[in-house]
Amino acid sequence: MKILAIMGSPRKKGNTYNVTRIVEESMKKFENIEFEYVFLKDLDLKSCLGCGVCLDKGEELCPLNDDRSMLEDKMHNADGVIFTSPTYMFNVTGLMKNFIDRFAYACHRPRFFKNAMVLTTSGAGIGTKMMLKSFKMALLSWGFDVVESLDIITNGDSTSKLSTPKHKANKKINYATRKLYKAIQKGKPNPSILGMSMFQFAKKEINKLNPEYYDFVYYNNQGWLKDNTYYYYDSETNFVKKTVSKLFSNFIGLLSF
Ligand SMILES: Cc1cc2nc3c(=O)[nH]c(=O)nc-3n(C[C@H](O)[C@H](O)[C@H](O)COP(=O)(O)O)c2cc1C
């Protein structure tokens, strides 16, 4: 099993790294897992220019030539991905936000249908709920199934041990790790009703587009616009889930996230 950890802290060996290392050790108790760290701080990932070319015309036409496609390959090649960032001002760090923005095209054209986990450390737990919600939402929109959000309070002191009491931190880490490991073992995630409803909502909206539009072509090429599709891939979903999600998809546009 291959796990990729995408590290969003500007401090390479800080609290977030320390917690991720514990996750690694905990996962390795299950089997001999290949664990790779990618530090956004070390990559050439330029700031999004906001031109929108990736959204409208395709990511291959992005004017920035840097490590973005290497990162995409790494996410495709992993069995599971752990996205980490300390909480900065109730949000992810600038490094992680730029990473998310650079992959905005995957929100239009989802592609990572695999299990993931988000992990944050914070000084006092202030704003972490808000941070994790939007962090998770971005990844869901790319196709990831975020099976767990891990949230550890460190007291802002890089030299101290975890200040979520150690036994509680270990319990949380072990629980999250087990959940991620089991989910990856099962294979492709079984979609939730919300995920299926969102797919059907998107399908309806894409179907209204000019067939020459990039998103239309992408959906069409994947076979997602056919009548009998309920999700991005075939899954063992029962009749009830299919019917409820189809009904619910009519109201998705009314929801505010
Ligand atoms: C610029 C900055 C903003 C921060 N904002 C928050 C915050 O909003 N809420 C919080 O609880 N901690 C906040 N912290 C504390 C960090 O989240 C905490 O120290 C974290 O464990 C640092 O992780 P690192 O060592 O991996 O960089 C902030 C720290 C910095 C430097």
The percent of residues in the chain predicted with pLDDT above 70, rounded, is: 96
- Nearest-atom index, ligand 1, CA of 124: 11
Centre of ligand 1 to C-alpha 89, Å, is 8
Q: What is the pLDDT of residues 46-60, one digit of tens each?
A: 999 999 999 999 999
Residue nearest ligand 1's atom 29 by CA = 88
- pLDDT at 218 > cutoff 60: yes
- Confidence band for 78, pLDDT divided at 50, 70 and 90: very high
The percent of residues in the chain predicted with pLDDT above 90, rounded, is: 79
Centre of ligand 1 to C-alpha 127, Å, is 10
Mean pLDDT (the chain, rounded): 93
Buried b (16+ CB within 10 A) or exposed e, 133-158: eebbebbbbbbbbbbbbbbbbbbeee
Angle (CA) 46 47 50, round 5°: 130
- Confidence band for 234, pLDDT divided at 50, 70 and 90: confident
Q: What is the pLDDT of residues 99-147, one digit of tens each?
A: 999 999 999 999 999 999 999 999 999 999 999 999 999 999 999 999 9
- Confidence band for 255, pLDDT divided at 50, 70 and 90: low
| Torsion (CA) 44, 45, 46, 52 in degrees, nearest 10 | 150
Ligand 1 near 89 CB (within 6 A)? yes
Tokens of 98: 């730029």
- pLDDT at 192 > cutoff 90: no
Q: What is the pLDDT of residues 6-43, one digit of tens each?
A: 999 999 999 999 999 999 999 999 999 999 999 999 99
Q: How many CA atoms lie within 13 A of 3 on its CB side?
A: 29
* pLDDT on residue 155: 74
Centre of ligand 1 to C-alpha 139, Å, is 21
Ligand 1 near 125 CB (within 6 A)? yes
Q: Tell me the best of 82, 83, 87, 161 to mutate to test the pocket of ligand 1, counting ligand atoms within 8 Å of each CB and taking the most.
A: 87
Rounded to two decimals, what is the model's pTM? 0.94
- Confidence band for 156, pLDDT divided at 50, 70 and 90: low
Centre of ligand 1 to C-alpha 94, Å, is 12
Domains of the chain: 2-186 (3.40.50.360), 193-254 (no CATH)
Tokens of 38: 């990618």
